[in-house]
Amino acid sequence: MTNDTRTPAAPLPIAPGAWALDPFHSSVNFTIRHLGIAKVRGRFTGFDTELHVGRTAEEVRVTSTIDLASIDTGNADRDAHVRASDLLDVAKRPTMSFRSTRVSGAGEDWTMEGELTIGDVTRPVTLAVEFGGLVDVPTEGGGRHAGFEATGEIRRSEYGLDFAPGLLGEVVKIQLDMQFVEPAGA
Express each pLDDT in 55-99 by its tens digit.
888 899 999 999 999 999 999 998 999 899 888 899 999 999 999
For residue 137, pLDDT over 90 is answered with no
Q: Which residues contact 150 (CB under 8 A, 6 or more apart)?
A: 112, 127, 128, 129, 130, 174, 175, 176, 178
Residue 123: how many other CB atoms lie within 10 Å: 12
Would you say 93 and 68 are in contact if contact means Cβ atoms under 8 Å apart?
Answer: yes
For residue 2, what pLDDT is reported? 47
Percent of the chain past pLDDT 90, that is, above it, reads 59
pLDDT level of residue 52 (50, 70, 90 thresholds): very high
Arithmetic mean of pLDDT over the chain: 88
pLDDT level of residue 1 (50, 70, 90 thresholds): very low
For residue 140, what pLDDT is reported? 65
- The pLDDT of 148-171, averaged and rounded, is 89
